[in-house]
Chains A and B, each alone.
Chain A
């Protein structure tokens, strides 16, 4: 699928205009964020202001907007492409591209849940890398680094041995052994005609370092947008309903993959939920965990029940997708072996 056919012309033109620079390897890293708005674009400045961030949005052409984000004394300038369901934010900063990416990432965290970042679990990230093996003429995949996010320690960088071929099972083993999900993976795709060097992340922050921007868009961004949309849809309309005199619950079940969840991880999960949400642990040990959690950001409420083989999230009458995603990300960070049952 061609990138330009799937995107609006103004955005495609904007991106393709950068192609020569990125092919030449002289351009700064391009940061890209796929987000799901819960608010009209005209209101985003007000929403950001109530979250203590200054943002200005100005239409450039069609659905392409200039975006300026200011966090205290730091600023980042980006392009925002507004579609009905998604906004894609592209940051290309000459001065300090890494900082600009960080500023936008922090801004997104501040305006959550009005603007929800996309997310990907470890399996989905590895599936994206694996997808290149299924192409008619499979390109070479060279992983240079991957990052695990261990709770509560944070990210741990793992360097891939130079020249060693990519092997998914090696990363999966690290995930299991370290009890930490895959946070990001940096890799280079080398084909006969085009190649590109990029990073894909659990929180939907994608980076193109060098190479074909059009290939990056069509082989990474487009499929990942589809996955992100499916992920969002999974968490939509999960609130408890009262129909014909009966309570209808649309729970989310996560099953432990390979090995059962250890009791200490269940206890740690209880603590993590209480830290990130307003949570009451009503049972902990032997080894079942039962927590009632209130999302302090938007007032969504859910019961979380965890057993060694299964974790069940039972939403109340209000359970926003953003809130459920935040909870899901937290659960899979503390208990990476928990896999969503679709």
Chain B
């Protein structure tokens, strides 16, 4: 018997495709959370999107959705994809089971019911391996961005009778309410957005400051972050949609593209809005450029590493160009 070799390293084009997929899944997750929240709110239940909960050991966690009825609390933890290799899959399911304990959220103490929320095809895969896995309650969804999005109770039962009663007894289905306007008010969730996704929206907000025939636009970093957070309301009071960390990543990437110059001392962004106008599909262009950009970075500079996003000052940039 031969041992499995190391996982193959994805090629550049595979990484670009993966980045594009991440962008789409991120937008889909926002649509899904919005619809689930709206549906349960319409029945009079409170729904917290990505709330902070405190466990008995004082550790904090952020479940994706927390539904509160008179009976108690239910966590819906969303997985758009899961590893299919048994060890990794079991580990992911165990992580989910960690929510099955007493916790507090705001002034409420509770022990929630825990549900895995996943796409229909993933639920089908999991059910086919039911014998070898310890599956939690599974609720699947179809076409999260469509008007006609359906939740299906695929495995187990819902402990909360209020929620159970919402599902059709025969089909185990619940049609989600959708409000397109409500859905697209939100642009971010707490989960780290793919940098190309954030970049497009930041670029859109920078463009809002431009006048016709104007190429160069100067925007204040602080005003930009304020404007976006005013525009995109938070899902809950404790989390702003755009943090400095997210914006700094975009600043670095846009500087790499040569679309902006950001002076860290004056916190002023000077953008050339004529850039990117012939990019075609912007999300594809940005994914392509971003993956190539991260390839060039040393491990120390990799995005997300602490300190990696110190944006160089204009003096530093000029001294680099002078070399």
Binding site for B on A (CB under 8 A): 38, 47, 50-51, 113-114, 240, 242, 247, 249, 251, 270-271, 274-275, 278-283, 286, 288, 290, 292, 294-301, 303, 305, 307, 312, 314, 316-318
Contact = CB atoms under 8 A, between A and B. Distances in A.
B224 to A, nearest CB: 13
Interface in B168-194: 180-181, 184-185
Contacts of B231: 240, 242, 247, 316-317
Nearest to A239: B208
B230 interface: yes
18 contacts: A38-B212, A50-B213, A113-B212, A247-B233, A279-B281, A279-B282, A280-B282, A281-B283, A282-B24, A286-B143, A288-B143, A288-B146, A292-B201, A296-B277, A297-B212, A298-B211, A299-B207, A318-B208
Nearest to B28: A283
A299 B215 CA distance: 10
B111 interface: no
A318 B200 CA distance: 16
Contacts of A296: 273-274, 277
A154 B32 CA distance: 39
Nearest to B30: A282
A280 B273 CA distance: 16
A294 B147 contact: no
Interface string B271-304: 0011011011111001000000000000000000
Contacts of A242: 230-231
Given A290-B27, A294-B207, A305-B184, 6 more contacts: A270-B281, A282-B24, A300-B208, A301-B207, A312-B180, A317-B208
B203 interface: yes
B217 to A, nearest CB: 8
Contacts of A288: 143, 145-147
Contact of B185 (A50, A247, A270): A247
B23 to A, nearest CB: 7
A298 B212 contact: yes
Contacts of A240: 231
B209 interface: yes
Contact of B209 (A38, A47, A299): A299
A279 B286 CA distance: 11
Contacts of A317: 208, 227, 231
A305 B230 contact: no
A275 B281 CA distance: 8
A73 to B, nearest CB: 24
Contacts of A282: 23-24, 27, 197, 283
B82 interface: no
Nearest to B146: A288
A39 B212 CA distance: 11
Contacts of B184: 290, 303, 305, 314
A51 B279 contact: no
Contacts of A281: 281, 283
A278 to B, nearest CB: 6
B283 A278 contact: no
Contacts of A294: 203-204, 207
Which of A51, A249, A279, A283 gathers the greatest number of chain B CB atoms within 10 Å? A283
A213 B280 CA distance: 46
B185 A298 contact: no
A283 B282 contact: no
A281 B283 CA distance: 7
B208 A280 contact: no
A274 B147 CA distance: 24
B210 interface: yes
Nearest to B199: A280
Contacts of B200: 280, 292
A280 B288 CA distance: 13
- 7 closest Cβ contacts across the A-B interface? A299-B210, A280-B282, A299-B207, A280-B283, A282-B27, A298-B212, A296-B277
Given A240-B231, A297-B212, A278 B276 contact: yes
Contacts of B146: 286, 288, 307
B242 to A, nearest CB: 15
A317 to B, nearest CB: 6
Nearest to A275: B280
A278 B143 CA distance: 27
A242 B233 CA distance: 10
Contacts of B276: 278
A122 to B, nearest CB: 26
Interface string B70-90: 000000000000000000000
A67 B231 CA distance: 43
Contacts of B273: 296, 299
B126 to A, nearest CB: 21
B180 A278 contact: no
Interface in B240-286: 273-274, 276-277, 279-283, 286
Contact of A299 (B23, B208, B282, B286): B208
Contact of A305 (B180, B211, B227, B280): B180
Nearest to A319: B208
